[in-house]
Amino acid sequence: MFDGLKDKLSGFREDVEASTEVDEEASPEEGAAPGSDADASDEAPEGGAAATAAEADAVEADETTSDDDEPSTFQRAKAFATGRIIIEEEDLEEPLWNLEMALLESDVEMSVAEQILDSVRESMLGESRKQVETTGELVESALHDALLDVIAVGQFDFEQRIAEADKPVTIVFTGVNGVGKTTSIAKLSEWLADRGYSSVLANGDTYRAGANEQIREHADRLGRDLISHDQGGDPAAVIYDGVEYAEANDIDVVLGDTAGRLHTSDDLMAQLEKIDRVVDPDMTLFVDEAVAGQDAVNRAKEFDDAAAIDGAILTKADADSSGGAAISVAYVTGKPILFLGTGQGYDDITRFDPEALVESLLDEE
């Protein structure tokens, strides 16, 4: 999953290591005192190392500091004398450009890519690190923090929210046609059942021919009750009936399907507004395909602007090599990705874990 993006991030690490390699090799000559043998510093006893550091400190008093923020030759020499290296702007210029292109090619939204680049640059520019902490480790740390900052936006404990909420909890699902919305409802019903929560399905997709049959097939396979009306009925009334049924039968969660729609469809958006007024759902979840990339990111933002969402489910994540939607949706909307669909079975849905995703993207194995 997201192997293409993983390869591109690995390429950035290699670029930075290559760009700093020449500087690290040059540092001994820059940092050596007149008449000294820089190569002998590695073999010097502790006292010698301390003396070297002391000499560097003594020279500092006579140095004139630069007016700009760039590390001076003296600073670089002193850093090396004390066993450290400094990352400079010129070391990052080309690798950051390549990283930006790699992120955009992976369908990461522009503002998200810029935020990642700014964060990486801030973490690394002028940063000194002990040489035992390799440049690669420094890059990985900077990427880890930058990616996590954008991916983890708005995260909350979904199961805890279900556990603590008054029952029944009503969850309404929105999104465009054909992205796996109804199947995601069935998967989430099974996910809840595995954790001891009962659920009822309510078919608010009352306009699409065959919608009742599709969701009823899922309900029958899972042994769930289904609330539905005749085609053309009022979606808000269907989901409201689902809530009343849940209250009467001590069911924990109502999962309400809605018609697939575009944010530009005024009548369908008006239906969502009516559902909000009539049912007042506890959560509205946006569903789209991870493989839709930038389109999924744009739609998530548009749906959130038109009818506020609380989180997102990305389907077909197992087939997505770019990872652009997974990287971007939360940052663009301010609302978290909560689940990933990872296959065809009812058990193929997993809670979205930003930390685990970042670690997998940066894992070199």
Q: Is 362 exposed, middle or buried (0-12, 13-18, 19+ CB in 10 A)?
A: middle
- DSSP string over 339-364: EEE-SSSTT-EEE--HHHHHHHHH--
221 is in an annotated binding site: no
Question: How far apart, in whole angstroms, are the C-alpha atoms of residue 243 and residue 262?
Answer: 26
206 is in an annotated binding site: no
130 is in an annotated binding site: no
Question: How far apart, in whole angstroms, are the C-alpha atoms of residue 241 and residue 148?
Answer: 41
259 is in an annotated binding site: yes
Nearest to 286 by CA among 316, 307, 317, 266: 307
CB of 259 within 8 A of CB of 268? yes
Cis, peptide link before residue 168, omega less than 30° from 0: yes
258 is in an annotated binding site: yes
Beta bridge mates, 341: 349
E-strand stretches of 121-168 = 128-130
4 is in an annotated binding site: no
Task: Report phi then psi at 339, rounded to 5.
Answer: -140, 155
136 is in an annotated binding site: no
274 is in an annotated binding site: no
Q: How many residues does the chain have?
A: 365
318 is in an annotated binding site: yes
| 10-23 burial code (b ≥16 CB/10 A, e <16) | bebbebbbebbeeb
Question: How far apart, in whole angstroms, are the C-alpha atoms of residue 44 and residue 32?
Answer: 14
End-to-end Cα spacing for the chain: 14
181 is in an annotated binding site: yes
Residue with tokens 């077909």: 316
CB of 238 within 8 A of CB of 152? no
Residues 6+ apart with CB under 8 A from 173: 181, 184, 185, 255, 256, 257, 258, 284, 285, 287, 313
- The DSSP letter of residue 324 is H
179 is in an annotated binding site: yes
316 is in an annotated binding site: yes
315 is in an annotated binding site: yes
For the annotated binding site for GTP, the residues are 175-182, 257-261, 315-318
Q: Binding site: residue ranges?
A: 175-182, 257-261, 315-318
